[in-house]
Homo-oligomer: A and B are copies of this chain.
Amino acid sequence: MYLIGIDVGGMSIKGGLVDSESGKILYQTAITTAEKYDTSNSFSEDIAKVVALVIEGSKVSFDNVVGIGIGQPGTIDSERGVVRYSNNIAIENVPVVDDLHKKGYNCPIYINNDANCAALGEYIFGAGRGYKDICFVTLGTGVGSGIIINGKLFEGRSSAGAEAGHMVIVANGERCTCGRKGCWEAYASATALIRQTKAVMEKAPDSMMHEIAKEEGKVSGKTAFVAAKRGDRAGQDVVDAYINYIGEGLVNLANIFRPDAILIGGGISRERDYLTIPLQKKMDAEAYGGEHNPRVIVKAASLQNDAGILGAAALVINKE
């Protein structure tokens, strides 16, 4: 049987047909996200358009589609199937699931926050397979998180929980986009890494990071990692401090949820072992109760570019 996964982003709305057993994407397509959605319905129409394109392009019968999942940044009321608020697409209170049902898609349809979808995708199709309890963290522009408890997505009341990126790890620290000071996101996101890299570069005019940034055309999330790998002391300092900030949040999650594993996704996770080995070391050294408590594994997420579509499709399996 098949699942349809829709991955909504600020640039494009991707859709894919997924084999529910193998987790393979059999067909995929995309349209450009509109710069502005005038009426709430025009957004749902774009979603419906992608669903239609997937069915048309993949040539499967809609009768064989078990369900549709939609992953979307923002604040989602997953119970009622409503996008409450989405910052980067500028829509509010759109009843996407109802709209799609009205357009004749009479299968189960679910919508959820993109980080929750990514967690589910890894749990069902990726690096989280075989575990019962995982935390998933995505290190990108922000820090997103998704929590799986006993095989099911944990969302908090009205799906307003699982926002671990907005857990303060430095009281009175850097201002976060959410308004608080010192959130994990303000220290462990790629955005934060770039800020930290620039700050150290200013004080270290001889660091290789200057040259690397020039080659790349800008300071990026890679600059300090590349420099550190070439033996640059200042670059290594940036990386060490940054990894330590990531680790503070990971150990916090371990102490709160004590999952089997914590998976790391997002752009920064491409550093793989360079990131996960020191993080595992910190986890083993600092997680509460030491050897009296079961170990929490730290590993990189595995779905990469397919994460969006597979995560959205996984919503259907989560609800079955």
Contacts and interface: CB of A to CB of B under 8 A. Distances in A.
Contact of A171 (B149, B169, B260, B285): B169
Interface stretch (A15-23, A43-51, A103-111, A151-159): A151-159
A160 B293 contact: yes
B166 A169 contact: no
Nearest to A156: B258
A156 B259 contact: yes
Given A160-B288, A160-B289, A178-B288, A248 B133 contact: no
Interface of A: 75, 84-85, 132-133, 149, 154-158, 160-164, 166-171, 178-180, 182, 187, 244-245, 248, 251-252, 255-260, 285-286, 288-290, 292-294
B260 A161 contact: no
Contact of A258 (B157, B167, B178, B258): B157
B170 A255 contact: no
Contacts of A182: 248
A170 B167 contact: no
The count of identical subunits is 2
A43 to B, nearest CB: 17
A95 to B, nearest CB: 15
Contacts of A169: 168-171
A156 B257 contact: yes
Contacts of A257: 156, 161
Contacts of A180: 251, 286
A286 B179 contact: yes
15 contacts: A84-B292, A133-B156, A157-B258, A160-B293, A160-B294, A161-B257, A161-B259, A162-B256, A163-B255, A163-B256, A164-B255, A168-B248, A170-B171, A178-B288, A182-B248
Given A170-B170, A252-B168, A258-B156, A163 B288 contact: yes
A256 B256 contact: yes
B171 A244 contact: yes
Contacts of A293: 75, 158, 160
Given A75-B289, A75-B292, A248 B163 contact: no
Query: Which of A154, A169, A251 has the most CB atoms of chain B within a 10 A radius of its CB?
Result: A169
A160 B259 CA distance: 9
Nearest to A289: B75
